[in-house]
Amino acid sequence: MNFWIIQGLNGLAFGSLLFILASGFSLIFGLMRIVNLSHGAYFMLGAYVGLSAIEAGVNFWIAILIGGGAICILGTVIERFILRRLNGQPLAQVLVTLGIAFIIADTCVWIWTGDPRPVPMPRELTGAFRVSNLAFPIYRLFVIGVAFALAAALWFLLERSRLGAMIRAGVDDLPMARAMGIRTSLLFSAVFCLGSALAGAGGVLAGPILSVYPGLDSDMLPLALVVVILGGVGSLLGAFVGSLIIGFIYSYGQALFPDLAYVILFLPMVLVLTLRPTGLFGRQAI
């Protein structure tokens, strides 16, 4: 019984990290039709930047801001100066983000070498939370809390704010949104900036759990893609549910059949693509 609870919490924690990454990816894809293949690299670079900040003596919480901020700036620059030039050429945009992903990944190896680097946990969150004979790391509970808070905040932003109304209009029908006078170029920058910042900050947040290593990007990017395929394009709820599903599958899979943890990931894809190609909560096919 304990095993199931602990692994369930682990899955929830991993799914939470995934949501922080995938929500931005999904928003960007849903609104701008850009498959940002740099997103995994943003996550990894954010983690490395955060790590360096911590090693330079910066407090963990500030390091999250630094990691998120750095990636936000990087993403905004890429969006403004490269992706925008390729407006209306989705394929060219994908290939550019792929190229940038390689550049970032290799630069990280260059700067931070090939060894895995653990990111130290903030002191106030070390230790375990105990209920009878169950112990669970407080930090993971904290990450779960952050993801739920983020989900709530994003929901509020999308459903209750003016910006959100514009984003939803853009996701549903971009030409129509443009015709209604929404300044889509500003909107694009805002969403890309938000998504990048989430990826970068998520990387730092993930550091104490996953540590940082070359290949973290390749590990996370396909999972984010699978989340969007499962959840549906541009759907926040889809990204949330999809992240948790993958989190659970991954966590239980790794504990029960460590060899096959990755093979099992095919399963939800086969099911969803066969039965519901729009994804669980998507309205349009991807």
Partner 1 sequence: MRAPSFNLLSWLIAIAALLALPWLVTSDYYVNIASQVVIAAILALSLNLLIGFGGMISLGHAAYLGVAAYLSIYLTAHAGFGHLAGALIAIGATTVLAMLFGYLALRASGLGFLMITLALGQILWGVAYRWASLTGGDNGLGGLKRPHPFGLNLMDPAIFYYFALAFFGIALWCIARFVQSALGQSLQGTRDQPRRMRALGYNVWLIQWLSFVFAGFWGSVAGLLYAYYHQFVSPQTLHLTTSAETLLMVIAGGTGTLLGPVVGAALVVILKNVVSAYITRWLILLGVIFVVIVLFMPEGLVPGITRWVRSLRSRPRADKAADTPSIAKDSAR
Give me the residues that bind partner 1 (CB under 8 A), please.
29, 33, 35, 37, 82, 85-86, 89-92, 94-96, 98-107, 110, 218-219, 221-222, 225-226, 228-229, 258-263, 265-266, 269-270, 273-274, 277, 285-286
C-alpha–C-alpha distance, residues 25 and 230, integer Å: 13
| Residue with smaller CB distance to partner 1, 133 or 274 | 274
| Residue with smaller CB distance to partner 1, 121 or 255 | 255
**Amino acid present at 93:** Q
C-alpha–C-alpha distance, residues 158 and 76, integer Å: 20
Min dist CB 83 to partner 1, Å, is 11
| Residue with smaller CB distance to partner 1, 83 or 198 | 83
Min dist CB 101 to partner 1, Å, is 7
Min dist CB 30 to partner 1, Å, is 11
CA distances (Å), origin 67, targets 52, 116, 131, 196, 208: 9, 18, 34, 10, 14
C-alpha–C-alpha distance, residues 191 and 76, integer Å: 9
Min dist CB 6 to partner 1, Å, is 21
Strand partners of residue 128: 137
Contacts of 200 (CB under 8 A, 6+ apart): 42, 43, 45, 46, 49, 50, 67, 68, 69, 70, 71, 72, 74
Min dist CB 103 to partner 1, Å, is 4
Min dist CB 82 to partner 1, Å, is 7
Q: What is the DSSP string of 139-171?
A: HHHHHHHHHHHHHHHHHHHHHHSHHHHHHHHHH
Min dist CB 104 to partner 1, Å, is 8
C-alpha–C-alpha distance, residues 200 and 64, integer Å: 8
| Residue with smaller CB distance to partner 1, 73 or 98 | 98
Structure tokens at 161: 């704010």
| Residue with smaller CB distance to partner 1, 2 or 89 | 89
What is the phi/psi pair of residue 186, to 5°? -65, -40
Structure tokens at 202: 């998520």
| Residue with smaller CB distance to partner 1, 31 or 105 | 105
C-alpha–C-alpha distance, residues 101 and 275, integer Å: 32
| Residue with smaller CB distance to partner 1, 61 or 257 | 257
C-alpha–C-alpha distance, residues 192 and 199, integer Å: 11
Min dist CB 220 to partner 1, Å, is 10
Q: Assign residue 138 a region: left if phi > 0, alpha if psi is -120 to 50, beta otherwise?
A: alpha
| Residue with smaller CB distance to partner 1, 97 or 184 | 97
